[in-house]
Amino acid sequence: MNKGSRIYVAGHNGMVGSALLRGLATRGYHHLITRSRQELDLLDQRAVMAFFAQENIDVVLLAAAKVGGIHANSTQPASFLYENLVIESNVIHAAFTSGTPELVFFGSSCIYPKHCPQPIREDYLLTGALEQTNEAYAIAKIAGLKLCEAYSQQHGTRYLSVMPTNLYGPNDNYDLQNGHVLAALIRKTHEAKLNGLQSLPVWGSGSPRREFLHVDDLASAVLALLDSDHIEGLFNIGFGKDIAIADLARLICDVVGFSGSLEFDLSRPDGTPRKLLDVSKLAALGWSPTIALRDGIAATYADYMNNVQRMGYADA
């Protein structure tokens, strides 16, 4: 990839896609191609094929997907499986048929078995049963990375797959039902503070451990990978440390300034007990994250506050 490469960022309005655009622009890449959902429906195969035939794309960063938290995944399995399968199939095949030589497919750490040895290495894929609450999404993502692997093996393309850990940062989804845990906790904690509540409800027992990576660190990792000599493969991207959900909630309370107690809702699912990625493959390239969790949460809370009225959430 060079500064003049024509780079298509699929899903540029989302948290990951917007971080990729920031990272690329900062590093001097100037031929950045984007399309909104209204301009290009990635579920429409004919439209996707026509787009690739016209744009002469050199690199695809496939960050477009249907995403959500535990509630959304567990209540909409058909939507998560179908839409993600169609999006990734359309884009990957259109990239190949149009001659696009490089592509990065964005998966998720939920592709790994529920009861994996920790930290999770890339070769643990398909060695056990998946977490039931997000099985449909995980199956779709596994199919996408296997499709990239197959095109690279059969046709000599450079289609890489990255498996990020739990992400957070600007443009996150702060929806209480369908958002990811860190963003949802930021909103819940802010609203608890705003309303003078004495306790903060937290889904589950608080005991599961999760790893969190700021989305700008993800973007830097992807660019480091593209600058490497790797031709194909699967790469974990994570922070290298995890935290219990209860401790995460306390950290968010401290950042937001909420002094009440935590109230754990044991009727809600915990999900996978622990997910910590082994990031030694990327570390061997010289990459490491730079944004500490507390600093990242503070910046994300500021993003929430700056956008709270535009997004239709509670008044700041």
pLDDT average, residue stretch 213-236: 93
pLDDT average, residue stretch 150-172: 95
Q: 287 a known binding residue? A: no
Model-wide pTM > 0.75: yes
The CATH number for 221's domain is: 3.40.50.720
The verdict on whether 137 is a catalytic residue reads: yes
Q: Is residue 220 part of a domain?
A: yes
Q: 16 a known binding residue? A: yes
Q: Is the pLDDT reported for residue 202 higher than 80?
A: yes
The whole-chain average pLDDT of the chain stands at 93
Q: Is residue 222 part of a domain?
A: yes
Catalytic residue among 8, 29, 112, 137: 137
Would you mind telling me the total number of residues written for the chain in this entry?
A: 316
Q: 164 a known binding residue? A: yes
For position 270, what pLDDT does the model report?
85
Q: How far apart are CA 233 and CA 145, in angstroms?
A: 9
Q: Is residue 45 part of a domain?
A: yes
Q: Is residue 201 part of a domain?
A: no
Number of domains into which the chain is organized: 1
CB 83, CB 43: distance < 8 Å: yes
Q: How far apart are CA 60 and CA 105, in angstroms?
A: 8
pLDDT average, residue stretch 32-45: 97
Q: Is the pLDDT reported for residue 315 higher than 50?
A: no
Q: 133 a known binding residue? A: no
In this prediction, residue 133 has a pLDDT band, given cuts at 50, 70 and 90, of confident
Per-residue tokens: 68: 């959500």
Instruction: Give the 3-state DSSP-derived string for 163-190, with helices as H, strands as E and coil as C.
Output: EECEEECCCCCCCCCCCCHHHHHHHHHH
Owning domain of residue 282: 7-173+211-239+276-291
For position 54, what pLDDT does the model report?
97
Q: How far apart are CA 94 and CA 157, in angstroms?
A: 13
pLDDT average, residue stretch 167-179: 86
